[in-house]
Amino acid sequence: MIHTTHFAGRTEFFSWLQQQINQANPATVLLLAGPAQIGKTAVLHQLHHGRLGPDAIPVYVDLAQLRQHTASAFFWELAQTAAADFNQKRHLPTKLEQAGFVADPLRALSIQFLQPVMTWLDGRRLLLLLDNLHSLKMNVDASENGPLASLLTWLRRQTAVTGILTLTQETADLTPEWASHLAGFERLFIQPLTLGDVADLLRQTHPVLMANAVIQHIYDMTDGQPAAVQKIGRFLQARMDGGLLKQITLADLAVARKMGIGRS
């Protein structure tokens, strides 16, 4: 499950995503890439809580939590996790049976999970939010149908599902080992927050007056990295709660910098 957190910005991603799933032939696989702690999971959180409205039904799965030693184990746990998340707000009218995943994992995923969900969707689109794609092991032998290749194959076949996958990497260009699997899919590289986004994020948690110079300094200290901004925010909030300050000044940020609180 994704935990609630403060959020700001990323309007370019949501506009791009809306365009991708509203076109005549909606995308079945979309890739959201970026460095660690840039906010990829936070974006999935927004989708999970209905950012795209009632016609997009989100289901979240953290791929890093699934076993990968066999395809049957991987897809069995994927189906269980997806069904449990779906059932938090709805009721899936079926019971999953593990034996089917031993015989034919992809067929079982379609019949036991997707078909009942499709009946419930009634023309709406399922957003399968697949976090931490980088945790999947890559196949050395291309002839083997491991978790990654099988998952992408299954998603390509769907007509009412869009898989949104997050991938941790430092640059916008796919590395060679990922390019062989993912080069044909639409993708967006997540950038740091803008100065305006940082201001919005800070003001969500700090209702006290915060001078523009302070916000600018926090932006400079963090390079717009969301995790670093929130870390400074928590530090300042703790000082306020402890009665150590009533308004935030550059001097408080100097204390944070001295303590090593800033860039992730």
Q: What is the pLDDT of residues 116-133, one digit of tens each?
A: 888 888 888 999 999 999
> How many C-beta neighbours within 10 Å does residue 139 have?
17
CA 216 to CA 24: how far, in whole Å?
43
- Choice between 218 and 241, residue whose per-residue pLDDT is larger: 218
Topology (CATH) of 11-189? Rossmann fold (3.40.50)
pLDDT recorded at residue 30 = 92
Phi, psi (degrees; rounded to nearest 5) at 127: -100, 110
Rounded to 10°, the helix 71-86/147-156 angle is: 50
Please write the tens of the pLDDT for every residue from 33-59: 999 989 899 899 999 988 888 888 999
Return the SS3 of 113. helix
Enumerate the β-bridge partners of residue 129.
60, 164
Q: Which of 129-133, 200-204, 243-247 has the lowest mean pLDDT?
A: 243-247
161 pLDDT tier (thresholds 50, 70, 90):
very high
CA 51 to CA 43: how far, in whole Å?
9
Spatial neighbors of 195 by CB under 8 A, at least 6 apart, are 215, 216, 219, 224
CA 41 to CA 35: how far, in whole Å?
11
pLDDT recorded at residue 1 = 39
Please write the tens of the pLDDT for every residue from 76-135: 999 999 999 998 877 766 689 999 999 999 999 999 999 988 888 888 899 999 999 988
pLDDT recorded at residue 4 = 45
CA 242 to CA 142: how far, in whole Å?
58
- Choice between 241 and 115, residue whose per-residue pLDDT is larger: 115
Query: Taking the model in full, what pTM does it have?
Result: 0.84
DSSP E strands: which ranges in 84-177?
125-131, 161-168
Domain boundaries, the chain: 11-189, 195-258
Question: In the chain, pLDDT over 90 holds for what percent of residues?
Answer: 27
